[in-house]
Homo-oligomer: A and B are copies of this chain.
Amino acid sequence: MSTIIEVAKLAGVSTATVSNVIRSTRVVSSRRTERVRAAIKQLNYSPNEIARSLKVRQTRILAMVLPDITNPFFPELIRGAEDAAFARGYFLVTANTDEQVGRERRIIEAFRSYRVGGILLATAQGRKGPDADHISALIQGGMPVVCLDRTVPNVKTDAVLLDNTGGARECVRHLIKQGYSSIAMVSGPAHLQTAHERFEGYRLALEDAGIPVQQSLIIRGDFRFESGYQAVIKLLKLKKRPDAIFVANGVMAQGALKAIDTLELRCPEDLALATFDHLASEYSHQPELTSVVQPSYDMGSRAGGMLMDRIEGRLQGGYSVIRVAPTLIVRVSSVAKRNVNG
């Protein structure tokens, strides 16, 4: 790989001139500009960003750290952040922690070492995780960090979060209004903040309506397909079967549909269903599920914007936390109970 010195030599100019042509940092005569361009082409020269970054002490790389790339919610987040980054001349790279805290640690350390401009973090850290010291250290060391979807416990940062509790509450309230009274929930993993908040919404909605929470109607899943399937099989085999189920994420809801199918029941005739996330239009075909839709693309894009603002010093002072509201989309899976067979 050729260097700026070789380009300068070939073009018969100084390295400063080559640099100035590349970065347009000061005016260079058109004759020289042309000679430099030609030399660059001839040598197939690519400026060494490593050297440049070392000199200017910053990179225009944004790093996104994600827990589970196979959950369709996250790719949309990537697309949002990516478009925002590109629009402002940044470059987004992504790494996947596979929900493992150790791996997250290692990835963050690597990004820190490479001195990325900032980090978008959807942490694998649980909501009571005691292990967040490295993240505090990171931030105190001056690295701009924006938390996405999930915050890190006991760490103050900018964040873009969803109003999980509000969304779940509205959704369950809707089920109640439709005439359902025995409403089960398939919740997410205990250690995840988002799962906890969604459960809170469920609890509050029941409380609002004066309906007691029944432990037997709450089954914990892990946000994956199989656990949604198993949970609903279990619920539907109860002597006192629920008449509606609220599912804490979209992937588990697909498992729920499969379970209903396996037991040869029908939705909504035998059981109403409502869920977080809207995979339906993209990956599934029937029935149309009532769902709490997260504006994931938008969340990614806003978090990206926030991070770049912070990097560029446009965002001074205290941390800002944005709570984005989800949208409840009512579909056939939760039609009013009295109409089910009408």
A interface with B by C-beta (< 8 Å): 1, 44, 46-51, 53-54, 59, 61, 63, 69-70, 72, 75-76, 78-79, 82, 86, 91-96, 98, 103, 106-107, 109-110, 112-115, 137, 140-142, 225, 251, 254-255, 257-258, 261, 279, 281-286
| CB-based contact A225/B282 at 8 Å | yes
Assembly CA distance A283 to B258 (angstroms): 10
Contact between B109 and A46 (Cβ–Cβ < 8 Å)? yes
Can you name the residue of chain B whose Cβ is closest to the Cβ of A83? Answer: B98
- A47 — which chain B residues lie within 8 A by C-beta? 113
Min C-beta distance of A10 to chain B, whole Å: 16
- Assess the B254–A49 pair: CB atoms within 8 A: no
B282 touches A254 (CB 8 A): yes
Q: Which of B70, B86, B93, B115 contacts A50 (CB 8 A)?
A: B115
Q: How far is the CA of A93 from the CA of B65 in the complex (A)?
A: 10
Contact between chains at A50 and B285 (CB < 8 Å): no
> Min CB distance, A62 to chain B, in Å?
11
Is there an interface contact between B142 and A1, defined as CB atoms closer than 8 Å? Answer: yes
Q: A44 and B75: CB pair below 8 A?
A: no
With contacts A49-B115, A254-B285, A261-B286 known, what are 15 further pairs, Cβ within 8 A? A1-B141, A44-B141, A46-B112, A48-B115, A50-B59, A50-B114, A63-B93, A69-B69, A72-B283, A78-B96, A91-B107, A91-B110, A225-B282, A257-B285, A283-B284
With beta carbons under 8 angstroms apart, the residue of B92, B261, B285 that contacts A95 is: B92
- Give the residue of B113, B140, B255, B283 whose beta carbon is less than 8 angstroms from that of A225: B283
Shortest beta-carbon distance from A272 to chain B in Å:
16
A86's partner among B44, B61, B103, B279 (CB-CB below 8 A) is B103
Residues of B within 8 A of A61 (CB): 114
Chain B residue at minimal CB-CB distance from A103? B86
Known interface pairs A93-B95, A95-B91; A46-B225 also in contact (CB < 8 Å): no
- Tell me which residues across on chain B come within 8 A of A112, comparing CB atoms: 46
Chain B residues contacting A141 (CB-CB under 8 Å) are 1, 44, 46
7 residue pairs, one from A and one from B, having the closest CB atoms: A258-B285, A93-B93, A49-B113, A283-B283, A257-B285, A69-B75, A70-B75
State which of B69, B92, B115, B285 has its C-beta within 8 Å of the C-beta of A78: B69
Interface centre among A50, A54, A75, A103 (most CB of B within 10 A): A50
Q: How far is the CB of A28 from chain B (nearest CB, A)?
A: 21
Residues on the B chain within 8 Å of A285, using CB: 254-255, 257-258, 261, 284
Identify the closest chain B residue to A286 (Cβ).
B261
Partner of A51, one of B54, B78, B254, B283: B54
